Structure 1
Amino acid sequence: MLLRDRRVSGQLLSVLFATVPLGMFPVAVVLAVHAWTGSFAMAGWVSAAFTGGSAVGLTVQGHLIDRFGPDRTIGVAGGAFVVAVVALVSVGGGPARWAPVVVVLAAVAGASLPEVTTAVRVWLARSELSSPQRVASYSLLGACFQTGLVFGPLLVTVAVVWVSPAGALLVVGAVSAAASAWFLSNVRRGRAESLPVVAAGEEPRMVARSSYGPMLAIFGIAAASGAVGGVATLVIPRVLEAAGSVESSGLLFATLAVGEVVGAVAYGAMRWPFGPVTQLVLVLAGTGVLVAACTFTTDRPWAFGVLLFGIGAASGPVAVLLASATELAAAGRAIGAASGARISVSLLASAAGSAFAGGANGQSGTPVVLAVLASVVLAAAALPFFLRRTLRAGHAS
């Protein structure tokens, strides 16, 4: 059993702990900026800046992990993230608040958020696990990742009630520092791969074993998935604000993340009667249909929450299948860079989704935003056909 291997279980726990701050920050920063400025539009731009910064950080940290190993990369990034969060709270909550500085600090926080998940994906891809074991590991990794995203919004809800939205941001910094320390302790105990794989001065090269076509399809699917999360970051608080309970936003974010946990675990545990290409088409099409259904439930938070759970459940298998496809489409020495690039595309799409949703005309514009998002996801359901050779090769091995 995979979890009996202390190296595997240690890596997966690191993903869970390190993902909690990622689940906390987008919710906390939207609530904090809204409390400071009274504007969801400004909150959307700050959230988009954080997400865009994360996209840059993923790419840069992916290259650094490939080149120098995770210990130095995560250690430096963890310290920079804490400094950026403290500066963001100091400037945003100060009397001389300057919006551009708040946006820049949010972007710096995103870029420096430690990419522990990327480091663990690299370790799994380079491990001696068999192909079925790696697929199972990716499912477990996805479950740990989404479990962290469940706890994140719930911790924000507690922090906002007990402290304040700005205090919740400081809690994010503290949790991130603790998670980074946990990961680094695993590295030092030899449970994580800490040796550089690419020699100094040698650039990792993406897609050495296949054409760029599969990676472009992967990026397209990742962008559609990321847009769902970005739109949700602004739509969820707006739906609850109209219902008079914006402070409970964390509960609906947690509902979305719980659905992703259930989806990832169920996907890894079941034997599917059709191949991975068909699986991807079905879950993407299902996601699009559920997002479209959300346009009719923005005035009923309970029904909106049920649909969010379904969207999350469909997203779980997408994450697992994209991780497997990336491993197959990228050269072994560039898996970290390829994985980082894929998630960067997702985060950039998420940033665009947040900015688009934040600029919508209040509550009345929410159904329009959701309708556009549903169209994008349904269009992306055709992209898995460009991954037929890549996914079938991995499925057969």
Structure 2
Amino acid sequence: MVLARPHVVRLLAATMVGRLPTAMVPVAVILLITTTSGSLATGGLIGAVYSLTAALSQPAKGRLLDRYGPVRVSGPGAALHAATLLALPYAASMHRTGAAAAVTFAALTAPPLEAGLRALWPRILTAPGERRAAIVLDSTCSGLVFITGPLLTGALAAVHGPEAALTVAAVLGAAGAAGVLTSVPARSWRPASRPIRASGRLLTTWLGGLVAVLTGTGLATGAMNVWAVQLADENDDPALTGLVPAVFSLGALIGSVLLAHRIHPGGARRHLVAGAAGLQAAWFVPLLAAHHHPASSVTVAAMAVPGLFHTVVTTSVVLTVQALAPAGRRAEAYAWLILAGGSGHALGTALAGALSAHPLGGPVLPALGAALTLAAALRTPAHTAPNMRA
């Protein structure tokens, strides 16, 4: 079992803890700015700045990781990130421009723990089956981050205020990064040799196609979160705001468990296309449920279905990158995937917010994102996709 292998549990747990600020900070920033300036629109804008800046900076951070390793890159980044989060309430109390500048700097210094972890797997797990299982577990932990982070932030802000949520995010981020960076695999990191063929542009046809795939899934999930708010308003049930993404993530968790045990025979592209097609079809399950069950209890339960296929898509993408990324540029390749998901999520949130007044704006956009995912998967070159069988 892959969890019994040395360093696996520590790296997974520490990375998950260290990544909690990714999900906590945007929510805490919205609450902080709203309480200090009274403007939800300003709070939402500055919160989005954090998410988008963190996503757009990923390829540069990945390039640095490949060249210098996690200790020299994520160590200083984690310290600066934590210090900036602690100073953010003071900056927000001074002026909105100061808050925006502090949020931007925090996003730029956030350590690239996710890309670093995925670049470490081939160094500590030699069997293809073990690497596949580790990636599935990695995807599961990512889902748990985006369930736990907002819930923890909301609870802390309700009891102690958003300043407390930012403080806890700073502590958790620093502690998680320390857990990763003091591990043997991180400390013994040696840059892989960089072949001449790997020195050019990385975002070529195969990686560009995968970036497009995850941009589509990100658009779908970003729009889903806004749709959850619409459902909560329509049913006068605030709990739906958190329940909808939580059930989606539960479906993704179930899909991760199933994938960890068995992947059907076939290449990565076959799994990617099948998962994308299933995702496109699955999004109509909650849409139809919402149409026929205005009370939305059935709609919430139906959200687990697209979550199942979301795992198939994301796992296929990561496994393809693991097999195809040239030596010395794996962290950078994974960073492009993180950028795609984050940018798509921001785009979906913005579009859904802009179309929220339209009755079909929220429900249809997730299906549109899934359609874009399928279209991008179909265009992924077949000859570039390695076989995923262990």
Q: Same fold (TM over 0.5)?
A: yes
Name the stretch that deviates more: 19-28 or 248-257: 248-257
Partner of 2:372: 379
Partner of 2:135: 138
Partner AA of 1:312 in structure 2: G
Partner of 2:74: 74
Task: Say which of 386, 389, 393 aligns to 2:383.
Answer: 389
Task: Say which of 199, 206, 213 aligns to 1:205.
Answer: 199
Provide the secondary structure at the position in 1 that maps to 2:111. Answer: coil
Q: Please give the alpha-carbon distance, in whole angstroms, between the structure 1 residues aligned to 2:197 and 2:231.
A: 46
Asked if 1:357 corresponds to 2:326, the answer is: no
Q: Please give the alpha-carbon distance, in whole angstroms, between the structure 2 residues aligned to 1:50 and 1:89.
A: 15
Task: Say which of 116, 119, 122 aligns to 2:116.
Answer: 119
**What's the offset of the Cα at 1:222?**
1.2
1:236-275 pair list within 5 angstroms:
236-246=228-238, 249-272=241-264, 274-275=266-267
What are the Cα deviations for residues 214-271 of structure 1, in whole angstroms up to 9, with x where unaligned? 1111011011112123324444344334544547744444333332222222112124
Provide the secondary structure at the position in 1 that maps to 2:182. Answer: helix
Provide the secondary structure at the position in 1 that maps to 2:355. Answer: coil
Asked if 1:195 corresponds to 2:175, the answer is: no
Asked if 1:230 corresponds to 2:230, the answer is: no
Partner AA of 1:216 in structure 2: G
Provide the secondary structure at the position in 2 that maps to 1:382. Answer: helix
Distance 1:302 1:193, change over 3 A: farther
What are the Cα deviations for residues 156-175 of structure 1, in whole angstroms up to 9, with x where unaligned? 23213322344323322222
Asked if 1:13 corresponds to 2:49, the answer is: no
Distance 1:349 1:23, change over 3 A: same
Structure 2: tracts of 5 or more residues without a match: none
Partner of 1:163: 160
Provide the secondary structure at the position in 2 that maps to 1:332. Answer: coil
What are the Cα deviations for residues 275-295 of structure 1, in whole angstroms up to 9, with x where unaligned? 433332233233334444555
Q: TM-score scaled to structure 1, two decimals? A: 0.84
Q: Please give the alpha-carbon distance, in whole angstroms, between the structure 2 residues aligned to 1:304 and 1:293.
A: 8
Identity value in percent: 20
Q: Please give the alpha-carbon distance, in whole angstroms, between the structure 2 residues aligned to 1:266 and 1:80.
A: 39
**What's the offset of the Cα at 1:52?**
1.4
**What's the offset of the Cα at 1:38?**
5.5
Name the stretch that deviates more: 287-296 or 75-84: 287-296
Q: Please give the alpha-carbon distance, in whole angstroms, between the structure 2 residues aligned to 1:308 and 1:150.
A: 14
Q: Please give the alpha-carbon distance, in whole angstroms, between the structure 1 residues aligned to 2:89 and 2:227.
A: 24
Q: Please give the alpha-carbon distance, in whole angstroms, between the structure 1 residues aligned to 2:304 and 2:185.
A: 34
**Alpha-carbon contact 1:69-1:194 (below 8 Å) kept:** no
**What's the offset of the Cα at 1:335?**
0.4
Partner of 1:282: 274
**What's the offset of the Cα at 1:80?**
1.9
| Cα RMSD, aligned residues only | 3.1
Distance 1:288 1:36, change over 3 A: farther
Partner AA of 1:302 in structure 2: S
Q: Please give the alpha-carbon distance, in whole angstroms, between the structure 1 residues aligned to 2:197 and 2:382.
A: 29
Partner AA of 1:313 in structure 2: L
**Alpha-carbon contact 2:266-2:389 (below 8 Å) kept:** no
**Alpha-carbon contact 2:268-2:387 (below 8 Å) kept:** no
**What's the offset of the Cα at 1:112?**
2.2
Distance 1:106 1:285, change over 3 A: farther
Distance 1:103 1:109, change over 3 A: same
- Point out 4+ residue stretches in structure 1 off by more than 6 angstroms: none
Name the stretch that deviates more: 115-124 or 300-309: 300-309
Distance 1:152 1:273, change over 3 A: same
Distance 1:196 1:153, change over 3 A: same
1:251-330 pair list within 5 angstroms:
251-272=243-264, 274-295=266-287, 297=290, 300-330=295-325
Task: Say which of 170, 176, 185 aligns to 1:179.
Answer: 176
Q: Please give the alpha-carbon distance, in whole angstroms, between the structure 2 residues aligned to 1:331 and 1:51.
A: 28
Distance 1:287 1:277, change over 3 A: same
Q: TM-score scaled to structure 2, two decimals? A: 0.86
How many residue pairs get matched? 385
Q: Please give the alpha-carbon distance, in whole angstroms, between the structure 1 residues aligned to 2:26 and 2:296.
A: 20
Provide the secondary structure at the position in 2 that maps to 1:395. Answer: coil
